[in-house]
Amino acid sequence: KDPVPTISNENFAVVADNKFTSSRLVWPEQLPGGDRIIEQMYYIPKGYKYLKTPIKRILIQTGAGAAWEKPKLNQGEFVGCPVSQCWLTLNQTLGPEVDAVLFRHSYSPPTYQRPPGQ
């Protein structure tokens, strides 16, 4: 079983209890011709509290990919993300416990009973 994720701030360039309110433009009509994806990735919601936000565990159910395209597991893929408390796993036995399940390239129904809210 994967270890229970813990917050490790030594690898993250974020400020605890961030009081920054982003003025980034995230809607298409606000930024015609701009890069909304970049704006959305770095958007920090008003009142966002990094250290008080629970970690979201994400299971990659299908399509983890070839060795060259495998994502960094645990929190590695999210280093540098200003609002992320996300954690990736390929461990299928964690299916009933994770917050979200990602189906990449194909859909294969999980073998476990999906809990409400997943």
Mean pLDDT of the region 13-29: 50
Judged against a pLDDT cut of 70, whether residue 109 lies above it is answered with yes
Domains in the chain: boundaries: 14-103
Judged against a pLDDT cut of 80, whether residue 19 lies above it is answered with no
pLDDT tens, residue by residue, 59-94 = 988 877 777 777 888 887 777 777 778 889 989 899
Mean pLDDT, the chain, rounded, equals 73
Question: Alpha helices, DSSP H only, in 1-118?
Answer: 36-41
Torsion over CA of 44, 8, 99 and 65, rounded to 10 degrees?
A: 100
C-alpha to C-alpha distances, 38 to 24, 42, 101, nearest whole angstrom = 10, 6, 24
Q: Is pLDDT larger for residue 101 or for residue 51?
A: 101
Q: Is pLDDT larger for residue 18 or for residue 66?
A: 66
pLDDT tens, residue by residue, 30-51 = 767 777 777 777 777 778 887 7
pLDDT at 26: 62
With tokens 């011709």, the residue in question is: 33
pTM here is 0.59
* pLDDT-based confidence at residue 15 (cuts at 50, 70, 90): very low
